[in-house]
Homo-oligomer: A and B are copies of this chain.
Amino acid sequence: MNRQIIMKSRPVGAPQPHNFELREVPIPELAAGEVRVENHWLSLDPYMRGRMSDAPSYSAPLEVGDVMEGETVGRVQASRDARFAEGEWVVGRGRWQTHSVLEAGQCRKLSPQIPKPSLALGILGMPGVTAYVGLKHIGQPKPGETVVVAAASGAVGAVVGQLARQAGCRVVGIAGTEAKCQYVSETLGFDVCLNHRAPDLARQLKDACPEGIDVYFENVSGPVFEAVFPLLNDFARIPVCGLISFYNATGLPSGPDRTPLLMRAILTKRLTFRGFIVTDFLADWPEALQALEAAFVAGTLQYQEHVLSGLEAAPQGLIDLLEGKNFGKVVVDLKPA
């Protein structure tokens, strides 16, 4: 049998456990061109909150009763495609379930060099490539510039900051606990990391960025963006990758309407705001994965996983992720010992 978690009801505000339901269904038959995968790892990522909403977005929303969406890593159990053999490790959009039937063309084989399969859901997968392409194509950091990274200990932010350091930038992280800040500055090697819960964040950030901010990698928005905004330099670039502080919002903040301030800054400082998702840059994936894997194997990129145990842990894992309670890339071990 296949165990899976569906969206039982659409959340209003923060998702609650009752919005999810575990069920068991038969494993479907394979058609030509498909593979069946026994999933070992499931990735939890902030974008999943967007899929649970029916607001327009870049992907169709989940319908009530659909299996929750998500990337998985597992081993091929059966294949009706010549490119895949039984026992091979693959990554794909297998959703929140123990077994997935996937189109072979939508699966990617894991590099044989990968030290641990779950890495293909993080630094050596979608979040790592997101960091790589967003920084390269939109952030465009130049040596000596100042790069600020929100959600700095998260799956994307940790990679962004390390790559920006390697590009010769001053890198300032923003994270949500003292322990995260210590990890970001000491282990990841950012120049500074600030706690976004500090009441004087704006002043601390100003002190940490004496020459202003040239790149702000936006994962968060809300109060973090408020602190960043006045420090943006002329010609600053803002890759808009995520807005986690908004995802559980049920309405707009109270007034006045500050949109004119943003537009005016875009004009007078000649800012670039550009949103992206990683699949906009499919042509960059091979280069990005190769660079990330080489750096990781060489020990020049650090990475931390937050491991949850068993499929049942996924709903609370997503709820916690949206509140910043994780520490590192969240993956669910679907076959815990």
Chain B residues contacting A260 (CB-CB under 8 Å) are 221, 243, 246, 249, 252-253
Indicate with 1 or 0, residue by residue over A259-280, a CB within 8 angstroms of chain B CB atoms.
1111111111111111111001
A264 to B55, CA, bound (A): 11
Known: A273-B272, A274-B266. A253 touches B256 (CB 8 A): yes
Contact, CB under 8 Å: B56 / A268: yes
Q: Within A22-80, which residues are at the interface with B (CB < 8 Å)?
A: 50, 56-58
Contact, CB under 8 Å: B251 / A256: yes
Known: A257-B253, A268-B56. A221 touches B263 (CB 8 A): yes
Contact, CB under 8 Å: A268 / B57: yes
Chain B residues contacting A255 (CB-CB under 8 Å) are 252-257
A234 at the interface (CB under 8 A from B): yes
A116 at the interface (CB under 8 A from B): no
Q: Which residue of B lies closest to A255 (CB)?
A: B255
A240 at the interface (CB under 8 A from B): yes
Contact, CB under 8 Å: A243 / B263: yes
A265 to B246, CA, bound (A): 12
Among the interface residues A264, A267, A274, which one has the most CB atoms of the partner chain B within 10 A? A267
Q: Within A220-237, which residues are at the interface with B (CB < 8 Å)?
A: 221, 225, 234-235
A83 at the interface (CB under 8 A from B): no
Chain B residues contacting A268 (CB-CB under 8 Å) are 50, 56-58, 275
Known: A253-B260, A257-B257, A257-B258. A269 touches B221 (CB 8 A): no
Chain B residues contacting A243 (CB-CB under 8 Å) are 260, 263-264, 267
Chain B residues contacting A50 (CB-CB under 8 Å) are 268
A187 to B266, CA, bound (A): 33
A119 to B280, CA, bound (A): 43
A276 to B2, CA, bound (A): 55
Chain B residues contacting A265 (CB-CB under 8 Å) are 275
A227 to B240, CA, bound (A): 23
A173 at the interface (CB under 8 A from B): no
Q: Which residue of B lies closest to A218 (CB)?
A: B263
Known: A251-B256, A252-B257, A270-B276. 16 other contacts (CB 8 A): A57-B268, A58-B270, A221-B263, A235-B280, A241-B267, A242-B267, A243-B264, A246-B260, A252-B256, A252-B258, A257-B258, A257-B259, A259-B259, A269-B275, A270-B274, A272-B274
9 closest residue pairs by CB, A with B: A255-B255, A252-B256, A267-B275, A266-B275, A253-B257, A272-B274, A270-B275, A57-B268, A273-B273
